[in-house]
Structure 1
Amino acid sequence: MNISVHEACHSLEAPGALLRRRGGSPDGLVAYVRALLGDQMPADLEAFYREGVEAVGDFRAILPKWNERPEWRREGMLRALLPVQAVPIFSDGAGSLYGLDLSSGAAGPAVYFFDHGDLFERPRWAAGSSLAYLLLLLGRYDHAIAEGCPAGWERSIDPDIESCPRAPPIWRAG
């Protein structure tokens, strides 16, 4: 079953797991990021920006600061993962990043966890087979820990997480 970023956001909004940012122009933000990425913007990334996601649970979205005045634009963390062909999507709150893969060229690229301890040199583990599945997994993360879910619980939400090409899922990452 495939799910869109829009559907994932909608399902997280009802129980209050998703926080949206206020204001701003998604059209301007999308155009700005598209230009920074050299017109190679995955459809899921565009959909994410258009949804206006600010946070899922305790995970804060990473967005470039965009304003219609060019002198007020800041790329922030956007370039942090470009050397490893990824775009940061969320922070874990401790300095590490979740990044959307840019190397696959696929319509729905996977999302990986990049550890700040590795200086973001490579993806440490697969965090979701798509951005939509990552959203659902982040929305369930605190509950999974509180309930003591076993390693691999992520498969119940994201059945394709084990087939991400750049890194294994967390329970196999070692």
Structure 2
Amino acid sequence: MKNPGKFCSSCRMKALRADPEMEAKRVATFRARFADAEFKAKHCAASAERLAKWRATEEGSTFVNANSRANLVLANSPENTEKRIRNIRVALMGWCPEDRWDEYRKMARTMPAPEARRIIEADLAAKERARLKALSPFERDMERIAKGARIVEQFTPRKADHAFSIIGSSMA
């Protein structure tokens, strides 16, 4: 098939694969070719040969070692699965304190999730304002310093030595 210039080869293949008629034709051709035992044996032998060559490369051996049966069993252990789930939750719900996750989930079942998030964020902001209001100015400053703020000298601009310009006019 000649490319008329509208698509690059990758985009053209995506367009062809998205067309149900073309996909059905491709699948039918694939099944017909693999029905022939001789073709299937040649194809499988060639695929096995390519796989063996790839495994012999540094990239292939690293991939095979990383995905060995022992590593896969370890990666899918209950502890690692829990850790993975927790990391996903922290990434998705980092805006919400962990002790409010259940409350958010319950609210999100009864109303739109953005609305539930807005309610919880408003409540968190109100609690933070109340906490800061209860602190003295000194305690607030000390908290800021503990979080990394620094005490710096306040800038005060100097006054001009004279109130007139070089030409002697005080209007400048």
**TM-score, normalised by the number of residues in structure 2:** 0.21
Q: Could you say which structure has the larger radius of gyration?
A: 2
Higher helix share: 2
Higher strand share: 1
More relative contact order in 1 or in 2 (CA 8 Å, sep 6+)?
Answer: 1
**TM-score, normalised by the number of residues in structure 1:** 0.21
